[in-house]
Amino acid sequence: MTLAATELAVATNEHLASISNTLIYSSMAVYTLAFFAYIAEWLLGSRSKVGRTAAALTSAGAPKEAPAVTVKRGAGTAVLERPKVVVRSASGARDVPDGPGAHGGDAQGDMYGRIAISLTVLAFLVELGGVVARAASVERAPWGNMYEFNITFSTVAVGVYLGLLALKKNVRWMGLFLITTVLLDLGLAVTVLYTASDQLVPALHSYWLYIHVSTAIFCGAVFYVGAVATILYLFKDSYESKLQAGGKPGSFASSVLERLPASASLDKFAYRVNAAVFPLWTFTIIAGAIWAGDAWGRYWNWDPKETWSFITWVGYACYLHARATAGWKGRKAAYLAMIAFGCWLFNYYGVNIFVSGKHSYAGV
């Protein structure tokens, strides 16, 4: 009996499949609690320590000159200017400090933020348990259909966020936006995209499933984190531009956007995460082509999934090139990043659900 036939003969463990479903629903409940904790962090945090951007962009709040450093040498005295440390926007027109974070720097907001992070960790572990139980129920990788891909993708996205926090990166401002979309993703998974636990189609029985699909999921999660930062950059940049022009944004916008990092910091963060994962996305496409050669006899068939993966690659390549080219930084490059992520989203949802091809394994 061949390996494929042996794997097809494996029966589905309905008990483990049921446990997986229960864990996924439980994780959604905990994510919801985390969502409300993040809301409390943003709304109940002190407003006394925000307003740094507005102060930096007005003459009254202009930063004072750093004191000079005096160095005595022999018969004379040399005066050295102390270097200034600024956060410069992509266009180089504004020097503004980062916001104090979602909680505004106070003890009450920080408490809600810590509760939100703890609940996020708990929900992540519960959801990870659901993904593992789903895999154990059929004794294979849990990436055989769109439902499984969704629950794995959201798990990895939260894992990337928590990993950045563990590395002491200042990304807690992303928590509310991340958890909101994770809940939407899981809601879509358990309703529209749900597929009963079952065995893989014969074409997917390959060790390349573990290599190609796992890297695709990880790349998507990192691209998603970069997209969140890019969207927030566009909002924060508009806010800073309005202040610089003498405008007066609404109190709600000021309360939220003042707590975010400066637009320059958001722009730099988005660029770094997209640039870091782009080589892995390149490897993902190459690994898929090798798998296609083994499974279908041709390395490239211009299948819709292959085509849109390549379009996504071109989109991010254009973005990275634009960021490295003078005159194409800031908002222009950010728009390219959003177009590239839009291509990835269509490749993720649209191609699998609405387009027929060799990769039609959505199961919906």
Block mean pLDDT (10 aa), the chain, length 364: 43 85 96 94 68 55 46 50 45 63 71 92 96 89 86 94 88 90 93 79 72 91 94 90 78 76 89 94 91 77 86 94 78 92 90 67 54
Range of the domain at 267: 3-354
Neighbours of 252 (CB within 10 A): 8
56 close to 63: Cβ distance less than 8 angstroms: yes
Residue 294 lies in a domain: yes
Residue 114 lies in a domain: yes
Q: Is the CB of residue 86 less than 8 Å from the CB of residue 142?
A: no
**Two structure tokens written together for 114:** 């810590």
At 6 the pLDDT is 43
Query: Is there a domain that residue 359 lies in?
Result: no
Nearest to 157 by CA among 221, 215, 217, 227: 221
CA distances from 25 to 120, 131, 214 (A): 14, 12, 23
The two structure tokens encoding residue 313: 């690659």
CB 161, CB 34: distance < 8 Å:
no
3-class SS of residue 140: coil
pLDDT attached to residue 172: 87
> 348: closest CA among 155, 252, 217?
217
Q: What confidence tens digit (pLDDT) does each residue in 136-154 have?
A: 988 888 887 889 889 999 9
Coil, strand or helix: which one is 97? Answer: coil
Query: Can you tell me the distance from the alpha carbon of 100 to that of 118, in angstroms, rounded to the nearest whole number?
Result: 20
Neighbours of 86 (CB within 10 A): 14
Residue 248: inside a domain, yes or no? Answer: yes
In-domain check, residue 174: yes
In the beta sheet, which residues pair with residue 77?
Answer: 72
pTM: 0.80
Angle between helices 214-244 and 263-296 (to 10 degrees): 160
Residue at 324 is within a domain: yes
In a domain? residue 363:
no
How confident is the model at residue 59, as a pLDDT?
47
Domain membership flag for residue 89: yes
The share of the chain scoring above pLDDT 90, in percent, equals 37
User: How many domains are there within the chain?
Assistant: 1
Question: Taking the C-alpha atoms of 23, 28, 30 and 31 in order, what is their torsion angle to the nearest 10 degrees?
Answer: 140
pLDDT for 89 equals 47
Closest CA to 136 of 25, 5, 6, 20: 20
Q: What is the structure's pLDDT at 82? A: 43
Q: Are the beta carbons of 270 and 164 closer than 8 angstroms?
A: no
Q: Residue 360: in which H helix or E strand, if any?
A: none
